[in-house]
Amino acid sequence: MGSAPSDGAADRPLAAYKILIAGGFGAGKTTLVGAISEVRPLHTEESLSTESAGSDDLRGVDGKTTTTVAMDFGRITLSSRLVLYLFGTPGQERFWFMWDELSYGALGAVVLADTRRLADCFPAVDYFEKRQLPFVIAINRFDDSPHYDPEDVRIALDLDPRVPVVLCDVRRPASAKQVLITLVEHLLVTEGNK
């Protein structure tokens, strides 16, 4: 790994691809991105819509019209010309509009599921199904989470039988890496079926 340019790197095209990491708050998005990639802080400056006024405590900040959103952002250098970027999708619904930009041109997505709060990943599943962006479900195993069979999760999420459902521990780099491998293998199968 490492992003140091090799000789003549400036002359070579750089191919950049992105994979989205979605899931409910606390499902492990930040941990997964940190386990597998070179992480750096990434901020966007977003307008605070009036709808969000209810969820934000705006007392004492009259006139504030934008807010800084921190995104999980990681870079995986696969070769001198191929770089994979991971973007954690902002969890709160008020940042929903950012998903359109993030998913545009993405290879696919990982939806992290926490079996203690499985419903938290419904919006992400719905979104990627509607956008027809291929995704995998990665069940992040927490020490106190009930033990579910992946197939039970598939039924609970009413998933297409072709969508892979895997167990993972995103704190472990090898496990995080396997989740991404599962996604790309799924993309290859999807691609081959066209």
Partner 1 sequence: MTRLGERAMNAGDMWAGRDAGPVVRPYALTGGRTEPADGEVLDLIAVIVASRQAAGAGDPAGHSPEHRRILSLCQRPVTVADVAADTTLPVGVVRVLLADLILQGRLTVLPQRPAGEQPSADLLKEVLHGLRAL
**What residues make contact with partner 1 under the rule CB under 8 A?**
1, 5, 9-10, 12-18, 36, 40-45, 60-64, 68, 73, 75-76, 78-79, 82-85, 87, 101-102, 104-105, 107, 177, 180-181, 184-185, 187-188, 191-192, 194
Q: CB of residue 122 vs partner 1: minimum separation in angstroms?
A: 26
What is the C-alpha to C-alpha distance for residues 60 and 50, in angstroms, rounded to an integer?
Answer: 16
Helix or strand run (H / E) with residue 150: helix 150-157
Nearer to partner 1, 66 or 92 (CB): 66
Q: How far apart are CA 5 and CA 7, in angstroms?
A: 7
Q: Which is nearer to partner 1, 107 or 166 (CB)?
A: 107
Residue by residue, DSSP assigns 60-82 as T-TT--EEEEEE-EEEEE-SSSE
Least distance in angstroms from the C-beta of 60 to partner 1: 5
Q: How far is CA 55 from the centre of its chain?
A: 23
Distance of CA 167 to the CA centre of its chain: 16
Minimum distance from CB of 73 to partner 1 (Å)? Answer: 6
- Is the CB of 10 or the CB of 158 nearer to partner 1? 10
For residue 64, the minimal CB distance to partner 1 (Å) is: 7
Residue nearer to partner 1 on the CB measure, 50 or 65 = 65
List residues bridging with 136 in a β-sheet. 110
Q: What is the DSSP letter of 90?
A: P
